[in-house]
């Protein structure tokens, strides 16, 4: 879902410290909440303070999205904030030569994670003796400059071509997915090759200096990774045991094709012309940037408000929102990272950014696995086969039956059998509990009888501990024999009734009558002898 918003506070710059700017943000300890000023509190899914390392941001925000791509889910992550708030640094498209391994941004870490995951899946399939999955990775790098979609992988593009109208077209497929026509697509085979493509594209990106940022991004950049995977259908895809047996017994491996696209969006910063001091082309760029961000904000507001979502979402107001249409309100797991400045002179810009991100949390996308039609049909057929096998098993066991009127129904005997089984289980539990109660009562009765015998001996003056123990053992044995006798008498009574019923049935059919054994019945019908101790 898009309802995952995180907020990152960059450290104060040296220039801000020299100019005496105060920190106006405070992160609640142990809570994903940031307080701006004295009383403006905002809660997000994650909040990263000024001392947070890049790996923590990647682990919480992006790691699970890459894992989702391997299962066929689209993903998008974009950074939003005012100019100079650290978006390019967070995304990792700055490519500073002095940057360390621990300061790598989201995109380099995601690329390494992606190719590491591919290698792990290939190795696991080889070790388990299964067909090795095939992967194909493509990359695209687009720039939105003054409402024109430009291709950063186009090596022929120069400054003069920048002023000309772009030939790149944005289209929507039957399923609501957005795709572009006329964009250079590069097939990539390794993480190093992917990073080289990203670096070359980032160096072609439009940047310029303003009073707020020495190297300000003057365009929105969208780096897209397309992942196509062909793998053996996993039996875990369906929880039906019958389906699993069918898949295991089949000698022919069934393959499925999964596709996923991952957008990394580095938005240009919102800016005020008064503070940036922009004039001429810089001012025109700033106005275009703000128009795109305004359209993005309107789309987020419309998607977050359920009453407006059913009417109209203005995706076509900007090419930025049109490109991100299926990421914002479609089939994608999307994360928004709001980058803010902690200085009090940026108070209003920071407040607007926090409100912007807070609205994004209200959007909920319904994500679906991207399978080709053949894989979808195979999955549907496997499910249908499992259902039919289960139905056939119900006919064989008598659970289902066809009535005289030709209507299918559930056999009443099955219901009755289920009820009897439930009752039988309940009775077993009760019998077990009653047996434990009988044992406890028998032990208590033995103890009481032995105490009475000891008291009688003590009154007679012949009390002895050994005699008392012997009497207790005798009484215990007598009680056990008495209980067995009761049980045998009940069994005998039951047998006598069965014999009597059988003899009656035989006499009705003219056969020889069976007589009950009188000796045994005479023995069991004798009254119990009185206890000699009492």
Q: Are 77 and 61 in contact (CB under 8 A)?
A: yes
Is 87 annotated in a binding site? The answer is: yes
d(C-alpha 209, C-alpha 218), whole Å: 9
Question: Whole-angstrom Cα distance, residue 82 to residue 329?
Answer: 24
What string of H, E and C letters represents the secondary structure of 342-410?
A: CEHHHHHHHHHHHHHHHHHCCCCCCCCCCECHHHHHHHHHHHHHHHHHHHHHHHHCCCEEECCCCCEEE
What is the DSSP secondary structure assignment for residue 485, as one 8-state letter?
H
| Class of residue 302 by CB neighbours under 10 A (exposed 0-12, middle 13-18, buried 19+) | buried
Is 83 annotated to bind a ligand? Reply is: yes
Report the distance separating Cα 145 and Cα 289, nearest Å: 8
88 is an annotated ligand-binding site residue: yes
Annotated binding-site residue? 81: yes
Q: DSSP alpha helices (H): ranges in 3-105? A: 14-18, 54-61, 63-69, 87-91
In 3D space, the residue among 337, 315, 214 whose CA is nearest the CA of residue 264 turns out to be: 337
86 in a labelled binding site: yes
Position of tokens 């012997």?
Answer: 470
274 is in an annotated binding site: no
**Length of the chain counted residue by residue:** 534
Q: At what angle do helices 106-127 and 54-61 cross, to 10 degrees?
A: 60
Cα–Cα distance for residue pair 207/28, rounded to 1 Å: 36
Give the pairing type, strands 169-172 and 46-48. unpaired
Binding residues: 81-88
Binding residues for ATP: 81-88
């Amino acid at each position: 879902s898009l309802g995952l918003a995180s907020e990152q506070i960059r450290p104060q710059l040296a220039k801000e410290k020299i100019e005496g700017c105060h920190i106006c943000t405070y992160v609640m300890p142990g809570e994903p909440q940031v307080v701006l000023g004295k009383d403006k509190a905002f809660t997000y899914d994650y909040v990263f303070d000024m001392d947070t390392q890049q790996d923590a941001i990647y682990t919480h925000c992006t790691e699970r999205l890459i894992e989702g791509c391997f299962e066929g889910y689209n993903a998008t992550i974009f950074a939003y904030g005012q100019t100079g708030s650290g978006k390019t640094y967070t995304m990792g498209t700055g490519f500073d030569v002095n940057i360390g391994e621990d300061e790598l941004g989201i995109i380099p870490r995601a690329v390494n994670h992606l190719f590491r995951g591919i290698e792990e899946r290939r190795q696991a399939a080889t070790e388990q003796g299964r067909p090795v999955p095939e992967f194909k990775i493509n990359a695209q790098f687009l720039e939105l400059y003054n409402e024109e979609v430009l291709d950063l992988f186009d090596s022929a593009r120069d400054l003069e071509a920048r002023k000309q109208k772009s030939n790149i077209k944005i289209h929507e497929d039957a399923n609501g997915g957005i795709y572009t026509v006329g964009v250079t697509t590069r097939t990539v085979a390794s993480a190093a090759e992917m990073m080289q493509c990203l670096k070359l594209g980032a160096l072609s990106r439009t940047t310029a200096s303003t009073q707020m940022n020495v190297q300000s991004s003057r365009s929105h950049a969208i780096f897209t990774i397309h992942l196509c995977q062909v793998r053996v259908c996993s039996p875990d895809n369906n929880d039906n045991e019958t389906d699993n047996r069918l898949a295991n017994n089949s000698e022919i491996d069934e393959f499925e094709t999964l596709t996923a696209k991952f957008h990394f969006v580095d938005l240009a910063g919102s800016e005020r012309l008064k503070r940036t001091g922009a004039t001429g082309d810089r001012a025109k760029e700033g106005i275009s940037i703000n128009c795109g961000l305004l359209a993005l904000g309107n789309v987020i507001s419309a998607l977050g408000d359920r009453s407006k979502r059913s009417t109209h979402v203005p995706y076509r107001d900007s090419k930025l929102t049109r490109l991100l249409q299926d990421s914002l309100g479609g089939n994608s797991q999307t994360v928004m990272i709001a980058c803010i400045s902690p200085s009090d002179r940026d108070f209003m810009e920071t407040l607007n950014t926090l409100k912007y991100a807070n609205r994004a949390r209200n959007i909920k996308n319904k994500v679906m696995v991207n399978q080709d039609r053949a894989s979808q049909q195979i999955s549907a057929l496997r499910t249908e086969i499992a259902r039919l096998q289960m139905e056939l098993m119900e006919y064989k066991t008598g659970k289902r039956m066809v009535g005289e009127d030709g209507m299918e129904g559930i056999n009443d005997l099955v219901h009755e059998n289920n009820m009897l089984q439930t009752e039988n289980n309940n009775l077993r539990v009760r019998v077990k509990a009653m047996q434990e109660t009988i044992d406890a009562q028998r032990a208590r009765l033995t103890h009481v009888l032995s105490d009475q015998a000891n008291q009688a001996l003590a009154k007679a003056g012949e009390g002895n501990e050994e005699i008392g123990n012997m009497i207790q053992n005798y009484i215990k044995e007598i009680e056990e024999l008495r209980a067995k006798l009761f049980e045998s008498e009940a069994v005998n009574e039951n047998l006598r009734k069965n014999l009597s019923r059988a003899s009656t049935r035989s006499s009705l059919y003219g056969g020889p009558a069976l007589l009950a054994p009188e000796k045994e019945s005479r023995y069991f019908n004798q009254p119990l002898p009185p206890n000699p101790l009492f």
